[in-house]
Structure 1
């Protein structure tokens, strides 16, 4: 028997679900919300519930795949209502796009990109298991938040106010 025939079959749905979990575990806003206690208790459980909700929306077994804006709406609503924050950095839309792209790839049997996300999560977890200094004591690893974007100043010296694009509030025809 060849080595290829001896390998277990690839479970694309499981790999996809693990990739989605990896994406959420690396989302800076969600990590800060959990680490800083922005949900008034049970932050980790609330973050897990959000991941589960999104996974249920995009599971391979669902009849109708949601579009990017539907996933983005769920993420915006959860961040605002559960964690008392706003995602104005475009991360929600990027996560929504990435999840749908990975879903399509995994549904077609191409799990290579999904595995990259899973492996990146595994390597980041290995690296953050705690470092020890020379005395053998655990060293705390501090993650700094991303800097705020620089303001846009027009030729008259006034700062341009940038509005957040919120597709949920758009009027339907």
Structure 2
């Protein structure tokens, strides 16, 4: 079996970079909206688009391509694209295919840089969240160590809250009257209190 042509390799890389930076798809995969195999579904999605272009070549129908993007996002990730990003993605895919067939890889490099920016921003955001969580945990630990009296106060508050909830639970609950189909109120006999 012959190795794939460099243009095909470049096109596939471009599609991967594009799909990894497509916000709607990225959210779906990161959030596992397509289930625990969302990563595999994304890889299959990329394969499907690459195959579509290899079968149709330059005769790709833009509306057909947009429909495929919408349908896969809906069927596999339960996303209704309301931002019309499928139009943007379809245009880039067509431009990418056209450039790659002519041996031009500038767009592939641009998509690679965009994908790296998105990944870098996500990693930075996650590390900031983690640092904040660790900082919050340290503050909680230090406040627990420094304030022994606050624990006693907290338990007292808990007792008061428990007392309030138990007294409200024992309060009689007034039931709504039962009205029959003729509009008369049904009298329910009360049981003895113990």
Shorter-chain TM-score range: 0.5 to 0.7
Q: CA deviation at 1:67?
A: 1.5
The alpha-carbon deviation at position 120 of structure 1 amounts to 2.9
Question: Residues 66 and 139 of structure 1: is their aligned pair in 2 closer, same or farther, counting only changes over 3 Å?
Answer: farther
Gaps of at least 5 residues in structure 1 are 1-9, 141-173
Task: Quote the offset at 1:37 in angstroms.
Answer: 2.1
Q: Does 1:38 align with 2:41?
A: no
Q: Normalization by structure 2: what TM-score? A: 0.56
Deviation at 1:14? 1.4
**1:17-56 map, 5 Å:** 17-56=12-51
Determine helix, strand or coil for the equivalent of 1:104: helix
CA RMSD between the two structures: 2.7
Residues 11 and 122 (structure 1), Cα distance of their counterparts in 2 relative to 1, 3 Å cut = farther
Matches within 5 A, 1:66-145: 66-125=60-119, 128=122, 139=131
* 2:8 corresponding residue in structure 1: 13
Q: Which whole-Å deviations, capped at 9, do the CAs of 1:108-127 have from their partners, x for residues lacking one?
A: 12221222112332454456
Q: Is the 8 A contact 1:39 1:84 kept in 2?
A: yes
Structure with greater helix share of residues: 2
2:21–2:118: 8 Å Cα contact kept in structure 1? no
Q: Secondary structure at the match of 1:37?
A: coil
List structure 1 segments (4+ residues) > 6 angstroms apart after TM superposition: none
CA contact (8 A) 1:57 1:65 kept: no
Alpha-carbon distance in structure 2 between the residues aligned to 1:32 and 1:111:
27
- Once the two structures are TM-superposed, the CA of residue 63 in structure 1 deviates from its matched residue by 5.2
Choose 1 or 2 for highest CA Rg. Answer: 2
* Alignment deviations for residues 109-149 of structure 1 (CA, whole Å, 9 cap, x no partner): 2221222112332454456556767xxxx648xxxxxxxxx
Counterpart contact for 1:76–1:87, Cα < 8 Å: yes
